[in-house]
Amino acid sequence: MRRALRAGRSRGLIELRQSVTNGGDLVNHFLWPVLMLATLWFLRDRSFGGFTLGPLLVPSILGMNAAMAMVSMSQHLTADREDGTLLRARATPHGVTGYLTGKLITISGGLILDLAIFLVPALLLIGGVGTSAAGWAALAGLLALGLLATLPAGAVLGSVITSARGQGLLTLPILAVIAISGVFYPITALPGWLQGVAQAFPVYWMGLGTRAAMLPPAAAAVEIGQSWRHLETIAVLSAWAVAGLLVAPIVLRRMARREAGSALASRKERAMQRTG
C-alpha cells in the first residue's frame, strides 16, 4: 500500500511534467486562461451597482476555474478508461490506489498552474485587485476545500460517463451552471429561482469565496444578503466534499470492477467506428 502511494506520487509528478512538455497539453493549459483574460480585458470598464466589473471579475473567474477541477477529473477518468490506462492499473497490485493518487496530484498541480497563468497577468492588467497576507491564506484554504469538494464529485462523474461523447455532452450543463453562478456579473441580477439553483453548485460558492478573499468589504454590497456568507460557503463546499468522499469510493470500485479486456475491446471498436 505504501509502495502504491509512493508509486502514485511519482506517477502524478511524471504526468504533470508530461502536461507541460507536450504541445497539445500546453495548449489546453493556456487556452482557457487566455480566453478568460481576453474576456476580462473587454469587460473591465463596465460597471455594475456602482462597482467597475474588472476587479469583480478577477476573483470570480479564479473561483470558477478552480471549480472546473471537477470537469478535468471527470474527463481524465473517462479518457483513461477508454484507452486502457485504468485496466492496466487494475492488473497491478494496489494499482487503482496508485492511479488515483497520481490523478489527484496531476489535476491539482495542473489546476494551480492554470490559476497562475490567469492570475499573474490579470493582476497586472486590472488595477484595484490585490490582497493581504491573510487574504492569500484564505484563498489557499478555499482552494484546498474547493478541491475536496470538486475532485471526488468529478471522479463520480467520470465513473458514470463512459464515453468521450458523453463528456462532450456534459459541457452544456456545465456552461449553464457557469452562466447562472454570478461569475461574469453579480448573481443578484438574476431572478430569485435561478439564484437558488446556482447556490446548489460549487461554482457559485468558489467564486463568492475568492471575491471575499480578494475584494474590499464594501464589494459585498452586490452579493446576496450584502454579505460574504463565509459560514455558508464553508458549509456548502464541505457538504459537497463529504458527499463526494462517501459516494466516490463506491462508484469507483464498481467501475473498476467492471473494467476488463473485453469491455476495453468493445469501446475500442466503438471509438474506431467514430474516427474511421
Partner 1 sequence: MSAIAVAGLRMRYGERDVLHDVTFQVEPGEVVALLGPNGAGKTTTIEILEGFRARSAGRVSVLGEDPGRAGEQWRARVGVVLQSWRDHGKWRVRELLAQLAAYYPDPWDPDDLIAAVGLTPQADQKVRTLSGGQRRRLDVAIGIVGRPGLLFLDEPTAGFDPSARRDFHDLVREFVATSGCTVLLTTHDLDEAERLAGRILILDGGRIVGDGTPVSLAQLVAGDDEVRWSLGGERFARPTGHPARFVHDLYREHGDEIRDLEVHRSSLENTYHALVRSAEAS
Q: Which residues bind partner 1 (CB under 8 A)?
A: 1, 3-4, 6-7, 10-11, 14-15, 18, 22, 80, 83-85, 87-88, 90-95, 98, 259-262, 264-265, 268
Query: Number of helices (H) and strands (E), helices first, in the chain?
Result: 12, 2
Kindly state the helix (H) or strand (E) to which residue 153 belongs, with its residue range: helix 133-160
Q: Which is nearer to partner 1, 80 or 232 (CB)?
A: 80
- Compute the least distance from the CB of residue 83 to partner 1, in Å: 5
Instruction: Using the minimum distance from each CB to partner 1, give the nearer residue, 55 or 98.
Output: 98
Q: Between 95 and 244, whose beta carbon lies closer to partner 1?
A: 95
Q: Which is nearer to partner 1, 253 or 268 (CB)?
A: 268
Residue 83 or 232 with smaller CB distance to partner 1: 83
Round to whole Å and give the CA distance between 249 and 255: 10
- CA angle centred on 184, ends 104 and 178, rounded to 5°: 45
List beta partners, residue 52: 47
Cβ pair 218, 68 in contact under 8 A:
no
- For 61, the grid coordinates are 473567474
C-alpha distances in Å from residue 177, one per residue of 79, 161, 170 = 23, 18, 11
Distance CA 56, CA 48 (A): 10
**Closest approach of Cβ 266 to partner 1, in Å?**
11
Q: Give me the residues paired with residue 47 across strands.
A: 52
Could you tell me the smallest distance in angstroms from the CB atom of residue 29 to partner 1? 14
Q: How far is the CB of 26 from partner 1 (least distance, A)?
A: 12
Closest contact distance (angstroms) between CB of 255 and partner 1 is 13
